[in-house]
């Protein structure tokens, strides 16, 4: 009996210290960001057929961004055929070598902070023949930009916005001025106008900063990894992750508020992600960089969605 009891105590002690470590990791923010990079670094080079701790989290990451069939259930930490297919689809979108391997260019790409909106919106279920899917994807690869069926009707081209409740990361005047500039980028090339709603009036677009779970089914994740998300029409919610090191003029370890705003407004209007690396609608943004101006790809995309 005695050895068993000591084993039990040891197990409890291990569980307890893991829990303590987990909650510490959650409160120490810079470590959180580092841990995602080192998590990916540890997975680099893991081969098909092998199992590795962390592969399940990698699968969840890929599923979140649309690289698994909609009905996929992820349970194992094995590098299986499904993971290989998901990696190939990811590599194709990001125009990396389509190896199906966890090579360093793939893990490096995943380390760049990005938008929380999926790259492949509404992926088909696994029963759908893949040949049709890949043909469909190839068609979009030529155009770069992409969008779905959700858009604002012409009666809603004069949109209003407001700054909702949530965390205060910037003073209101700074936020106002950055958002006004970001809206202006899209107003210049479309029939949309964007006006701040007068006090108390309900607005089409509501902008706010949140930390972690904020009860819209898409929790934020601390510094790095996911920066913000915007909902497709006619929802109008634009949320920033309050745990990023935001700036209106970023240093090398900061994230540019205006660049992210211009991108998220693209989603509010109905655009999906573009795989054109230079475009505003490209999913990821390197820390410390500014990307504030629409490219021809973004303009072509919004004109295709709202032809005049």
Ligand X SMILES: *[C@@H]1O[C@H](CO)[C@@H](O)[C@H](O)[C@H]1NC(C)=O
Near Zn ion by CB under 5 A: residue from 40, 58, 115, 269: 115
**β-pair partners for 228:** 240
Token duo for residue 93: 């979108």
Give backbone dihedrals phi and psi of 207, rounded to 5 degrees, phi first.
Answer: -110, 130
**Smaller CB separation from ligand X, 77 or 254:** 254
Would the annotation count 216 as a binding residue?
yes
Q: Which does 216 bind (CB under 5 to 8 A by kind): Zn ion, ligand X, none?
A: Zn ion
Q: How far is the CB of 216 from ligand X (least distance, A)?
A: 25
Q: Is 44 in the site for ligand X (CB under 6 A)?
A: no
Query: 304 by DSSP, 3-state: which?
Result: helix
Distances, alpha carbon 269 to alpha carbons 84, 104, 205, 230, in Å: 33, 35, 10, 9
Q: Report which of 257, 83, 107, 100 is spatially closest to residue 169, judged by C-alpha positions.
A: 257
**Smaller CB separation from Zn ion, 85 or 203:** 203
Q: Is 213 in the site for Zn ion (CB under 5 A)?
A: no
Near Zn ion by CB under 5 A: residue from 44, 53, 216, 253: 216
In whole angstroms, give the CA distance from residue 271 to residue 147: 5
Near ligand X by CB under 6 A: residue from 53, 128, 253, 293: 253
Would the annotation count 239 as a binding residue?
yes
Near ligand X by CB under 6 A: residue from 19, 50, 105, 289: 105
Reply yes or no on whether 53 is catalytic.
no
**β-pair partners for 284:** 114
Which candidate in 44, 258, 264, 278 is catalytic?
A: 264
What are the DSSP E strand ranges found in 198-274?
205-210, 228-230, 237-241, 246-247, 255-256
Residue closest to Zn ion when measured from CB atoms: 115
Would the annotation count 1 as a binding residue?
no
Token duo for residue 288: 């410390």
Q: Which does 115 bind (CB under 5 to 8 A by kind): ligand X, Zn ion, none?
A: Zn ion
Class of residue 15 by CB neighbours under 10 A (exposed 0-12, middle 13-18, buried 19+): exposed
For ligand X, the binding residues in 218-247 under the rule CB under 6 A are 245
Binding site for ligand X (CB under 6 A): 96-97, 105, 245, 251, 253-254
Write out the binding residues for Zn(2+). 115, 214, 216, 229, 239, 263, 267, 273, 281
Please give the annotated binding residues for Ca(2+), written as ranges.
204, 221-222, 241, 244
């Amino acid at each position: 009996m005695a050895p068993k009891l000591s084993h039990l105590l040891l197990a409890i002690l291990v569980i307890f210290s893991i829990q303590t470590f987990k909650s510490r990791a959650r409160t120490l923010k810079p470590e959180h960001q580092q841990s995602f990079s080192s998590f990916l670094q540890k997975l680099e080079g893991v081969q098909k057929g092998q199992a590795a701790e962390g592969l399940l989290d990698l699968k969840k990451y890929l599923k979140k961004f649309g690289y698994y069939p909609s009905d996929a259930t992820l349970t194992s930490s094995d590098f299986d055929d499904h993971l290989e297919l998901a990696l190939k689809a990811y590599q194709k979108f990001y125009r990396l070598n389509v190896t199906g391997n966890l090579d360093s260019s793939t893990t490096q790409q995943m380390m760049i902070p990005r938008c929380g909106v999926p790259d492949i919106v509404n992926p088909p279920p696994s029963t759908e023949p893949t040949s049709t899917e890949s043909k469909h994807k190839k068609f979009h690869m030529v155009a770069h930009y992409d969008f779905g069926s959700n858009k604002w009707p012409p009666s809603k081209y004069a949109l209003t916005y407001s700054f909702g409740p949530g965390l205060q990361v910037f003073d209101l005047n700074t936020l106002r001025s950055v958002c006004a500039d970001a809206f202006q980028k899209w107003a210049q090339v479309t029939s949309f106008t964007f006006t701040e709603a007068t006090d108390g009036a309900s607005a089409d677009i509501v902008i706010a900063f949140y930390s972690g779970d904020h009860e819209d089914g898409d929790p934020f994740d601390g510094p790095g990894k996911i920066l913000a998300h915007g909902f497709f029409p006619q929802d109008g919610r634009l949320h920033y992750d309050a745990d990023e090191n935001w700036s209106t003029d970023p240093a090398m370890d900061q994230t540019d508020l205006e660049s992210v705003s211009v991108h998220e407004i693209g989603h509010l209007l109905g655009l999906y992600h573009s795989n054109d690396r230079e475009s505003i609608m490209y999913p990821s943004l390197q820390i410390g960089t500014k990307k504030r101006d629409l490219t021809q790809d973004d303009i072509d995309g919004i004109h295709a969605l709202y032809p005049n």
